[in-house]
Amino acid sequence: MRVFGLLGLVLALVIVGLIAKKQLTTAVAPLPSVPGAAAPAPGEAPVDVRMQSQQVQQQVKDALDAAAQARKMPDEN
């Protein structure tokens, strides 16, 4: 009976390994682009990652600043 348990465990590990391998090879997606940034033309080098990162950081900072301004309440003295 232990042999059947061991064979079942090995079979389950093989199935999980095959599924994981299939998922890793087929699910490679490109990085999302930054809204407002121009996509490179075919054959051109992609946008510099550092510049794209700075654009995203600036957009997040602007959004947080706008949200903070909207939340300001007048003092009730």
Structure tokens at 4: 């059947």
Other Cβ atoms within 10 Å of 40 Cβ, number: 11
CA separation for the pair 61, 51 (Å, rounded): 15
- pLDDT confidence bin for 26, thresholds 50/70/90: confident
Q: Looking at the predicted structure, is the pLDDT value of residue 13 above 80?
A: yes
Alpha-carbon distance 27 to 25, whole Å? 6
Please give the pLDDT value at position 23: 86
pLDDT in tens, 28-72: 555 555 566 566 566 555 667 888 899 999 999 999 888 888 666
More confident residue, 28 or 18: 18
Return the structure tokens found at 25: 């090879």
The ranges assigned to domains in the chain are 2-27+47-71
The amino acid at residue 9 is L
Q: How confident is the model at residue 2 (pLDDT cuts 50, 70, 90)?
A: confident
If you ran DSSP here, which 8-state letter would residue 32 be given?
P
